[in-house]
Chain A
Amino acid sequence: MEKILSVDNVYAAYGKFKVLHSLSFDAYEGEVLGIIGPNGAGKTTLMNAICGLLIPYEGKVIFNGRDITKMKPDERCRLGIGRTYQVPKPFDRLTVFENVLVASAYGTGRSEAEAVEDTIEVLKQTGLYAKGDVESHNLALLDRKRLEIARGLATKPTLLLLDEVAAGLTDAEVHEVMDLVEYLKGTGITIIWIEHVIKTMAESTDKLLCLAVGTNLIYGDPAYVMGSKDVEEVYLGVDDDE
Chain B
Amino acid sequence: MDAALIQSIIQGLLMGGLYAAVGLGMSMIFGIVRITNLAHGDFLILACYISLIFMGVINNPIVTLVFVVPIMFFIGFSMQRSLLNRVIGRGDEPPLLITFGLSIIVQNLLLYFFTADAQRLHSNLLLESISLGERVRIPVLWLISCIVGVAIILVLGLYMKNTYMGRAIRATSDDTEAAQLVGVNIKSAYGIAMGIAMMTAAVSGVFIGMVFTFYPSTGPSYLIIAFAVVVIGGIGSIYGTLAAGLIFGLAQVVGGYIVGPQYQQLIGYVILLIMLVLRPQGLFQR
Contacts and interface: CB of A to CB of B under 8 A. Distances in A.
B183 A107 contact: yes
A93 B170 contact: yes
Contact of B182 (A102, A111, A112): A102
Contact of A72 (B175, B178, B180): B180
Given A98-B167, A101-B167, A89 B183 contact: no
Given A53-B177, A91-B178, A111-B164, A78 B170 contact: no
Interface residues of B, number: 18
B36 to A, nearest CB: 21
Contacts of A151: 178, 182
Contact of A77 (B167, B168, B175, B180): B180
B190 to A, nearest CB: 13
A77 B178 contact: no
B174 interface: yes
Interface in A94-146: 94, 98-99, 101-103, 105-109, 111-112
Contacts of B168: 102, 106
B164 A112 contact: yes
A106 B175 CA distance: 15
Chain B contact residues, majority secondary structure:
helix
Contacts of B55: none
A92 interface: yes
A91 B174 CA distance: 5
B278 interface: no
Given A91-B171, A93-B170, A106 B178 contact: no
Nearest to B237: A93
A106 B184 contact: yes
B102 interface: no
Contacts of B175: 89-92
A83 interface: yes
Contact of B170 (A53, A91, A108): A91
A127 B177 CA distance: 25
A155 B164 CA distance: 15
A51 interface: yes
B181 interface: yes
A23 B186 CA distance: 30
Interface centre among B168, B177, B181 (most CB of A within 10 A): B181
B178 to A, nearest CB: 4
A73 B181 contact: yes
Chain A: interface size category: 20 to 34
A182 interface: no
A72 B177 CA distance: 11
Given A98-B167, A111-B164, A112-B164, A103 B174 contact: no
B170 A103 contact: no
A90 to B, nearest CB: 8
Interface in B153-189: 164, 167-168, 170-171, 173-175, 177-186
Contacts of A77: 180-183
A102 B171 contact: yes
A109 B186 CA distance: 14
A185 to B, nearest CB: 21
B164 A74 contact: no
Contacts of B178: 85, 89-91, 151
B174 A106 contact: no
B183 A155 contact: yes
Interface of A: 51-53, 72-74, 77-78, 82-83, 85, 89-94, 98-99, 101-103, 105-109, 111-112, 151-152, 154-155
Given A89-B177, A91-B171, A94-B174, 13 more contacts: A53-B177, A53-B181, A74-B185, A74-B186, A77-B180, A93-B170, A98-B167, A98-B171, A102-B167, A102-B184, A105-B164, A106-B183, A111-B164
Q: 8 closest pairs, A vs B, by CB?
A: A107-B183, A103-B182, A106-B183, A73-B180, A77-B183, A91-B174, A89-B178, A91-B171
